[in-house]
């Protein structure tokens, strides 16, 4: 299974696209730290470099210099607790008599097991267990009969799930966003070309200009000379945007659908105060993810914003630690208290989400040990009750604290004086996005796609107009 990742695609008028791709990937590092890869095309052939680790670890100057071509795509892979090996780093590449293909994927596909079984039946072999590899095979085999656009359309009809893709057919760079628009993807204009990227921060880092988001069901083909792009809206369905992109995953300085993520989080913080405000001496975020929420909350309540915790910025995400013990140690490694800001004070601690509850439980305990007189916890998302099948590593159901506990039980479990969450309507209000246009699977247990053993919230004819 592929998890939450970052993708980039660049087409330039002249010069090599590898270096700007590398910078753009740097800006998207938060979307994946397990591995990184860049594939370029110089008009004759593909060049590729990938490896495990952070962008800065995978590539050195030499590597980037040895990736010639005006066309390039890049990928960052999100860490998972499962097996890690270099073969499963993107972009995936295949070469056939229809040319060379490279594909970078963000999201998770839900029906690739069936598609893979059919390929295997016909004698195809796969080198990884990745869903993306199945998609590359599907696209390559559709290219035998169709031109690029029709082959993509057929692939989009066949493969379901969440996918924001950048792909390269020979030296043509293409962006594809699934019909539900689950994961973000945007288009930017550079001085000397165009870029497709998961988030607008990748455009900012190149001093480019955000043109717009790729629409759900849209295929964007960048001109080979970097002069522009063509748009093909192949599907027009009711979207199911992942609200968790706004709550946690995307960088706060990214703009998605004309909304600065930081502002969306502040608005959620404001609603948290409006609906569940409590007067305490200080309001403190869980850094870094709770910062914007806490600032919106404190401002709404005219309360003192003060940081009770500091983060060691050299520690990676605790979420991926494989055992509970390791996770608990990691929270301590990552966050420390500033006692003189806490002693004798009542504190409202604000985080974006509670997943397993490891972080919140530890932090409440730490604050009490530092002398807090009261610790109230406020959460900028609804309780996470179910897994994500569409691209976020969210733990399995039995690991999720809210899957079998109500809010009072969770409050007792984490040891807080009070605990409150936002609900789905608050999120919809804060994002100014109708409830029916968001994917809320992880907080409702009802998904916009068919997943075996889960409830699907959409009827077969739930889509609006069909493909044109
Ligand atoms: P937990 O300790 O398991 O309850 O995780 C909650 C913490 O992890 C919060 O501080 C969140 O900001 C962060 N978090 C939430 N979702 C994810 C995710 N998918 N990957 C990594 N960290 C996450």
Give tens-digit pLDDT for 246-292: 999 999 999 998 999 999 999 999 999 999 999 999 999 999 999 99
Per-residue pLDDT at 5 exceeds 70 = yes
**With contact defined as beta carbons under 8 Å apart, do 51 and 16 qualify?**
no
Q: Is the CB of 197 under 6 A from ligand 1?
A: no
Q: Is the CB of 162 under 6 A from ligand 1?
A: no
Q: Is the CB of 289 under 6 A from ligand 1?
A: yes
Q: What is the mean pLDDT of the chain?
A: 92
Q: What is the dihedral of CA 274, 280, 281, 284, to 10 degrees?
A: -70
Q: Is 289 assigned a ligand-binding role in the annotation? A: yes
Q: Is 439 assigned a ligand-binding role in the annotation? A: yes
- Most confident option among 189-203, 306-320, 381-395: 189-203
| All domains in the chain, ordered by first residue | 5-237 (3.60.20.10), 261-428 (3.40.50.2020)
Q: Is 5 a catalytic residue?
A: yes
Ligand 1 atom index nearest CA of 354: 4
Q: Is 281 assigned a ligand-binding role in the annotation? A: no
Name the percent of the chain lying above pLDDT 90: 84
Tens digits of per-residue pLDDT, 115-142? 999 999 999 898 888 889 999 999 999 9
**Which range is least confidently modeled, 56-65, 177-186, 321-330, 358-367?**
321-330
**With contact defined as beta carbons under 8 Å apart, do 52 and 35 qualify?**
yes
Question: 140: which 2 tokens?
Answer: 């390559």
Per-residue confidence band for 460, with pLDDT thresholds at 50, 70 and 90: low
Q: How far is the CA of 122 from the centre of ligand 1 (A)?
A: 42
Tens digits of per-residue pLDDT, 224-236? 999 999 999 999 9
Q: How far is the CA of 296 from the centre of ligand 1 (A)?
A: 20
What was the pLDDT predicted at 394?
79
Q: How far is the CA of 304 from the centre of ligand 1 (A)?
A: 25
Tens digits of per-residue pLDDT, 107-120? 999 999 999 999 99
Q: Mean pLDDT across the stretch 307-334? A: 76
Ligand 1 atom index nearest CA of 352: 12
User: Which residues, in sequence order, are bridge partners of residue 75?
Assistant: 7, 37
Task: Determine which residue's CA is closest to atom 23 belonging to ligand 1.
Answer: 319
Per-residue pLDDT at 418 exceeds 50 = yes
What was the pLDDT predicted at 78?
82
Q: Is the CB of 166 under 6 A from ligand 1?
A: no
Q: Is the CB of 5 under 6 A from ligand 1?
A: no
Per-residue confidence band for 315, with pLDDT thresholds at 50, 70 and 90: confident
Q: Is the CB of 212 under 6 A from ligand 1?
A: no
Q: Mean pLDDT across the stretch 156-166? A: 97
Burial zone of 13 (CB within 10 Å; 0-12 exposed, 13-18 middle, 19+ buried): middle
- Listed in sequence order, the residues at least 6 apart from 115 whose beta carbon sits closer than 8 Å to its beta carbon are 134, 138, 158, 159
Q: How far is the CA of 145 from the centre of ligand 1 (A)?
A: 45
**With contact defined as beta carbons under 8 Å apart, do 428 and 437 qualify?**
no
Q: Model's pTM, two decimal places?
A: 0.94
């Amino acid at each position: 299974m592929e998890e939450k990742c970052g993708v980039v695609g660049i087409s330039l008028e002249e010069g090599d696209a590898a270096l700007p791709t590398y910078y753009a990937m740097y800006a998207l590092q938060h979307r994946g730290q397990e591995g990184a890869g860049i594939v370029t095309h110089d008009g004759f052939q593909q060049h590729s470099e990938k490896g495990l680790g952070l962008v800065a670890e995978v590539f050195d100057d030499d590597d980037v210099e040895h990736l010639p071509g005006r066309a390039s795509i890049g990928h960052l892979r999100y860490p998972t607790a499962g097996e890690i090996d270099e073969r499963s780093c993107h972009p995936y590449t295949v070469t056939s008599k229809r040319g060379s293909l490279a594909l970078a994927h963000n999201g998770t596909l839900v029906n690739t097991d069936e598609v893979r079984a059919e390929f295997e039946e016909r004698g195809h072999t796969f080198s990884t267990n990745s869903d993306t590899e199945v998609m590359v095979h599907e696209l390559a085999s559709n290219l035998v009969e169709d031109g690029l656009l029709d082959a993509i359309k057929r692939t989009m009809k066949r493969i379901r799930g969440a996918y924001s893709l950048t792909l390269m057919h020979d030296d043509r760079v293409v962006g594809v966003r699934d019909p539900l628009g689950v994961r973000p993807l945007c288009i930017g204009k550079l001085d000397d070309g165009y870029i497709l990227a998961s988030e607008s921060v990748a455009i900012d880092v190149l001093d480019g200009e955000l043109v717009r988001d790729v629409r759900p069901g849209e295929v964007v083909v960048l001109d080979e000379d970097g002069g522009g792009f063509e748009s093909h809206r192949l599907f027009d369905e009711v979207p199911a945007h992942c609200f968790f992109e706004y709550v946690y995953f995307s960088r706060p300085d990214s703009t998605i659908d004309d909304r600065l993520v930081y502002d969306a989080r502040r608005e959620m913080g404001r609603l948290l105060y409006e609906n569940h405000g409590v007067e305490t001496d200080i309001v403190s975020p869980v850094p870094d993810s709770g910062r914007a929420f806490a600032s919106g909350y404190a401002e709404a309540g005219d309360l003192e914003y003060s940081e009770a915790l500091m983060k060691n910025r050299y520690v990676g995400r605790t979420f991926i630690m494989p055992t509970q013990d390791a996770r608990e140690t990691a929270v301590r490694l990552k966050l420390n208290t500033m006692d003189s800001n806490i002693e004798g004070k009542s504190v409202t601690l604000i985080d974006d989400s509670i997943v397993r509850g490891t972080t919140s439980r530890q932090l409440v305990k730490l604050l009490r040990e530092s002398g807090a007189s009261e610790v109230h916890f406020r959460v900028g998302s609804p309780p996470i009750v179910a897994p994500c099948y569409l691209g976020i590593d969210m733990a399995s159901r039995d690991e999720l604290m809210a899957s079998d506990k109500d809010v009072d039980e969770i409050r007792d479990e984490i040891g807080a004086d009070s605990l409150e969450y936002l609900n789905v309507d608050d999120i919809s209000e804060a994002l100014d996005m109708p409830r029916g246009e968001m994917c809320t699977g992880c907080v409702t247990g009802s998904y916009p796609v068919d997943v075996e053993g889960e409830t699907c919230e959409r009827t077969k004819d739930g889509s609006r107009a069909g493909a044109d």
